[in-house]
């Protein structure tokens, strides 16, 4: 493995990298950094999570002249979440040189950004629309730009930003270094490379093994109309300590968060329409345990760094395997076990197979629990809660009341009544969840004639005749075993 100290970097940058805890470069870093330092144009084909921000960030920072107050580096990113994440990492890389980094994106007060631009940042990270807005207002002056980076170019294509990108590229100096990073290379992205890059060097990095050994992965085959009740019952069975639920659309996220709240869960949603302030408030509440269910779109969840997430539920299966890996990576962190459950409409089974091919791991079929199973799960959570109170040994002031009760009733009756009192029984409050169209069907060209199709999530998928609800430990699951409910 290549070490950063062998890449001919300045002392200031090496010190910053060391402070970040990096010692060995990832494959894309070891290939991109030396080329980037020579000023070559680069096309990097790499997925999220390969370390590409540091790969393009180090050469950019190394070239920055901090005595020059003009903008010397520009990174274009598809989402504000990614723009913030990239700017934070670049700020750390550039801390030794005192390089000034600014993120500009939609949803934030533009006047505030204009004031920040007057502070003469060296590097701008932004979303296409907001960068173009500043160019048109003449608040973003790029005549001295030396390095331009297009990050997640295929994602920007999918989001309809291709014209904005072309407009930005036509407003930057012809003499510059350009680095383009993309997981895939569709035609329009190749066309941009041909038009706006000079003899680019191609770097392809094979995706790292996209699976996490300490995450138990399950799927439930379920029709759209039944998804929410299955979700609610599964959560009652699992009693997750902190859970993230992924939905495909903003409407889906809003409806799920509202429906879960109606059913007594402390849930809130985040998606691209929220202000940054609101999003940060929700994430803070989730990290502090004030809400225990976060509902999110892929875009809003990008770059989330939250410890203690015990369960991830994919209410809608994502369209591409990379998104699946990104989603389930929110759990099973810091050596702890996690659980991921994916709901699959029968018409979307080909997407499940594609995920399995990518992760090289079969998901275990899970049977949808009944209302009785949900009640049993909640009863077990109540038992665990009672045991935790006993273990704390801080109930001395209740001892006299306990003796009085035991004088009148037998111990079994007293304990059963106490458990009934603290058990939150399954809530069947009516909710409305709009049906979303299934993903477009595609022919499964990889299907093996020996595979025998797929096991059903019903009795055909049982191992040893027992039911599988994904419980590693019904006594408390992977968290405390306690479901926190809102008081209303």
Q: How far is CA 420 from CA 10, 380, 393, 417, 423, in A?
A: 66, 11, 21, 5, 5
Longest dimension (CA), the chain: 90
* Helix H or strand E encompassing 179: strand 177-182
Burial of 460 (0-12, 13-18, 19+ CB in 10 A): exposed
- Please give the pLDDT value at position 478: 38
Contacts of 446 (CB under 8 A, 6+ apart): 353, 354, 357
Question: Residue range 22-44: average pLDDT?
Answer: 90
- Please give the pLDDT value at position 441: 60
Q: How far is CA 17 from CA 29, 61, 72, 267, 339, in A?
A: 12, 12, 21, 38, 33
pLDDT tier for residue 27 given thresholds of 50, 70 and 90: confident
Mean pLDDT across the chain = 83
Structure tokens of 172?
A: 């930057």
Sign, CA torsion 89/322/253/422:
negative
Task: Say if residue 147's pLDDT is above 90.
Answer: yes
Comparing 309-323, 388-402, 451-465, the range with the smallest average pLDDT is: 451-465
Sign, CA torsion 297/300/303/307:
negative
- Please give the pLDDT value at position 302: 58
pLDDT tier for residue 472 given thresholds of 50, 70 and 90: very low
Domain covering 209-436+454-488 assigned CATH 3.40.50.300 in the classification:
yes
pLDDT tier for residue 184 given thresholds of 50, 70 and 90: confident
Comparing 8-12, 62-66, 180-184, 471-475, the range with the smallest average pLDDT is: 471-475
Structure tokens of 208?
A: 């790292």
Question: Domain 4-204 carries which CATH code?
Answer: 3.40.50.300
More confident residue, 347 or 478: 347
- Please give the pLDDT value at position 466: 41
Comparing 142-156, 179-193, 198-212, 467-481, the range with the smallest average pLDDT is: 467-481
- Per the DSSP assignment, residues forming a β-bridge with 293 are 243, 267
- Please give the pLDDT value at position 2: 82
Q: What is the pLDDT of residues 186-239, one digit of tens each?
A: 888 889 898 899 999 999 876 544 545 678 999 999 999 999 999 999 999 998
Task: Say if residue 93's pLDDT is above 80.
Answer: yes
More confident residue, 318 or 252: 252
pLDDT tier for residue 183 given thresholds of 50, 70 and 90: confident
| 8 A C-beta contact, residue 243 and residue 292 | yes
How do 177-182 and 42-45 pair as beta strands?
Answer: parallel
- Please give the pLDDT value at position 476: 39
- Cα–Cα distance for residue pair 388/468, rounded to 1 Å: 26
Tell me the domain boundaries of the chain. Answer: 4-204, 209-436+454-488
Task: Say if residue 18's pLDDT is above 80.
Answer: yes
- What beta strand segments (E) does 214-263 contain? 215-221, 243-246
Domains 4-204 and 209-436+454-488 are alike in CATH topology: yes
Percentage of the chain surpassing pLDDT 90?
43
pLDDT tier for residue 91 given thresholds of 50, 70 and 90: very high
């Amino acid at each position: 493995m290549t070490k950063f100290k062998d890449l001919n970097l300045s002392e200031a940058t090496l010190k910053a990298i060391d402070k970040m805890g990096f010692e060995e470069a990832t494959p894309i870093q070891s290939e991109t950094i030396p080329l980037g330092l020579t000023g070559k144009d680069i096309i990097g084909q790499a997925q999220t999570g390969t370390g590409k921000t540091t790969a393009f960030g180090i050469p950019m920072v190394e070239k920055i002249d901090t005595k020059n107050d003009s903008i010397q580096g520009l990174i274009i990113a598809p989402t504000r979440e990614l723009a913030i994440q990239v700017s934070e990492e670049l700020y750390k890389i550039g801390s030794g040189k005192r390089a000034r980094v600014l993120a500009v994106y939609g949803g934030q007060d533009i006047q505030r950004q204009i004031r920040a631009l007057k502070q003469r940042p060296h590097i701008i990270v932004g979303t296409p629309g907001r960068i173009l807005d500043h160019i048109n207002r003449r608040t973003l002056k790029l005549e001295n730009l030396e390095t331009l980076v297009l990050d997640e170019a295929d994602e920007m294509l999918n989001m309809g930003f291709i014209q904005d990108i072309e407009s930005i590229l036509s407003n930057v100096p012809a003499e510059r270094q350009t680095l383009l990073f993309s997981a895939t290379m569709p035609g329009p992205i190749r066309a941009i490379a041909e038009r706006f890059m000079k003899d680019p060097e191609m770097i392809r990095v094979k995706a790292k093994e996209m699976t996490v050994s300490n995450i138990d992965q399950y799927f439930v085959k379920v029709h759209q109309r039944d998804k929410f009740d299955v979700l609610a019952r599964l959560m009652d069975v699992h009693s997750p300590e902190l859970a993230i639920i992924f939905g495909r659309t903003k409407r889906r996220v809003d409806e799920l968060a509202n429906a879960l709240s109606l059913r007594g869960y402390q849930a809130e949603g985040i998606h691209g329409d929220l202000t940054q302030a609101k999003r940060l408030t929700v994430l803070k509440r989730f990290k502090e345990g004030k809400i225990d269910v976060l509902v999110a779109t892929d875009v809003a969840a990008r770059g989330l760094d939250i410890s203690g997430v015990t369960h991830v539920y994919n209410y809608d299966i994502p369209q591409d395997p990379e998104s699946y890996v990104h989603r389930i990576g929110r759990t099973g962190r810091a050596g702890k076990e996690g659980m991921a459950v994916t709901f699959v409409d029968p018409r979307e089974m080909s997407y499940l197979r594609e995920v399995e091919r990518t992760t090289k791991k079969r998901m275990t079929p899970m049977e949808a629990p009944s209302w009785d199973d949900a009640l049993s799960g909640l009863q077990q959570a109540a038992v665990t809660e009672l045991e935790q109170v006993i273990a704390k040994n801080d109930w001395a002031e209740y001892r006299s009341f306990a003796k009085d009760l035991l004088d009148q009733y037998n111990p079994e009756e007293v304990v059963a009544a106490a458990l009934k009192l603290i058990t939150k029984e399954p809530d069947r409050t009516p909710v409305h969840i709009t049906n979303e169209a299934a993903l477009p069907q595609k022919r499964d060209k990889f299907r093996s004639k020996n595979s025998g199709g797929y096991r059903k999530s019903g009795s055909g998928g049982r191992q040893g005749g027992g039911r599988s609800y994904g419980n590693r430990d019904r006594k408390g699951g992977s968290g405390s075993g306690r479901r926190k409910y809102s008081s209303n």
